[in-house]
Amino acid sequence: MVYNFSAGPAAIPLPVLERARSELLDFQGTGTSVMEISHRGETFLKVAAHAENSLRALLSVPANYKILFMQGGGYGEFSIAPLNLLGKNRKADYVNTGHWSTKAVEEVARYGDIHIASTSEPNGFTSVAAPSTWNVRNDAAYLHICTNETINGVEMPFWQSPPDFGVPLVADMSSHIMSRPMDVSKYGVIYAGAQKNIGPSGLTLVIIRDDLLDQAMPHCPAVFNYGSQAKSEWMLNTPNTWGVYLAGLTFDWLNEQGGLAGIAKVNDAKQALLYKAIDESNGFYSNRVAKPDRSWMNVPFSLRDESLNTAFLEEAKSAGLLFLKGHRAVGGMRASIYNATPLVGVQALVTFMNDFAKRKG
């Protein structure tokens, strides 16, 4: 038995993998796998509709929003979103809260007049400034935020229901989408790479309000054009059929956990347990993020004595606790505790951490 704390591609719920295995060689009596059938055939269209309808129900996506399963990942969306949304004056505002919003700013700089409405770079990306202090231009085509910074472990505390900024809000939710209920109607566009909380890599989710669909720049590739993909029900070209299938199974599993309200309770218990272990370790472990802005999904922490890092990782691995090494940009450790990580996995991690601190502290 192992527990997987990988930041991404990340753990997929075991029942989802078991079901995929059981259906792999003969999908619903077709005699082939789901990967080997036409995306336009009746069998796959049912899989596609099931994934889309389940997502709409789980996230309470309003009727005036389209759901698109695309490709290109979160990083692709850093360009795809502006190519679709910058409009005629090509102005957009960005909030920089860490590694991924920095990448988003680097990408969009090639396409338009970009203004940084707020940045937490001066404090080392350890908090989020209050939205009332953000300096958003009222003629910006949109305001872009990354609601959960996967590497820095910073989550916007108001992400489930953000304030109105007077311009459409565009959010990268790659690493915490579907971890808790949220109000989709507060956003213009939400995007997420699937490989953290939805399924395998190579699948990208886009949720977009209807009125933002048809303003892509002429040079935007057709497959990345939100309007064209919406018109063709995200089948302008071949989608990641295997990814869509696994996402649908993950949504079934989420429903079995009581939907987003159910999984939110588990996620809350997990994060509370882990941060408590860090905070009550008398400084043996530490997390630098301001408490209200701490991520429920990605928990970076460091050891006071960094010379113990290798021993910590090796012993954790022997105890079946995998992939706890922090991102090279931040160092130290990181436990990613997405939806698929069970509470018992976090309990096992905390037991190990307490024991390690007792022996080495």
Task: Find the binding residues for ligand PLP in span 206-265 (CB under 6 A).
Answer: none
Per-residue burial over 225-254, b = 16 or more CB atoms within 10 Å of its CB, e = otherwise: bbbbbbeebbebeebbbbbbbbbbbbbbbb
Q: Which of 5, 69, 100, 323 binds ligand PLP (CB under 6 A)?
A: 100
Our CB check for ligand PLP shows the closer of 297 and 353 to be 297
Task: Find the binding residues for ligand PLP in span 3-32 (CB under 6 A).
Answer: 8
Q: Which two tokens stand for residue 35?
A: 């990967």
Q: Residue 62 is which amino acid? A: P
Our CB check for ligand PLP shows the closer of 11 and 357 to be 11
Q: Which of 112, 131, 162, 193 binds ligand PLP (CB under 6 A)?
A: 193
Residue 158 exposed, middle or buried by CB count within 10 Å (0-12, 13-18, 19+):
middle
CB of 175 to ligand PLP, least distance (A): 4
Q: Which stretch binds ligand PLP (CB under 6 A): 25-33, 68-76, 212-220, 318-326?
A: 68-76
Is 231 catalytic? The answer is no
Our CB check for ligand PLP shows the closer of 73 and 248 to be 73
Our CB check for ligand PLP shows the closer of 75 and 158 to be 75
Marked catalytic residue, from 134, 159, 172, 270: 172
Is 325 catalytic? The answer is no
Marked catalytic residue, from 100, 234, 253, 296: 100
Task: Find the binding residues for ligand PLP in span 124-183 (CB under 6 A).
Answer: 146, 150, 172, 174-175
Our CB check for ligand PLP shows the closer of 145 and 348 to be 145
Neighbours of 267 (CB within 10 A): 22
- For residues 170 and 152, is the Cβ–Cβ distance under 8 A? no
Task: List beta partners, residue 285.
Answer: 303
Based on C-alpha coordinates, what's the Rg of the chain? 21
For the four alpha carbons of 303, 346, 300 and 286, in that order, the dihedral sign comes to negative
Query: Minimal CA–CA distance to 298: which of 101, 151, 147, 191?
Result: 151
Distance of CA 62 to the CA centre of its chain: 20
Q: Which of 13, 74, 112, 162 binds ligand PLP (CB under 6 A)?
A: 74
Our CB check for ligand PLP shows the closer of 175 and 271 to be 175
Contacts for 331 with CB less than 8 Å, ≥ 6 apart: 302, 306
For the four alpha carbons of 70, 106, 334 and 276, in that order, the dihedral sign comes to negative
Q: Which of 50, 75, 236, 262 binds ligand PLP (CB under 6 A)?
A: 75
Task: List beta partners, residue 325.
Answer: 333
Is 46 catalytic? The answer is no
CB of 37 to ligand PLP, least distance (A): 25
User: What gap in Å lies between CA 137 and CA 42, rounded to an integer?
Assistant: 47
CB of 31 to ligand PLP, least distance (A): 33
CB of 197 to ligand PLP, least distance (A): 10
Marked catalytic residue, from 66, 93, 134, 196: 196
- For residues 136 and 145, is the Cβ–Cβ distance under 8 A? no
Q: What are the phi and psi torsion angles at 115 (to 5°)?
A: -125, 135
Q: Which stretch binds ligand PLP (CB under 6 A): 69-77, 107-115, 158-166, 353-361?
A: 69-77
Chain contacts with ligand PLP (rule: CB under 6 A): 8, 73-76, 100, 146, 150, 172, 174-175, 193, 196
Query: Catalytic residue positions?
Result: 100, 172, 196
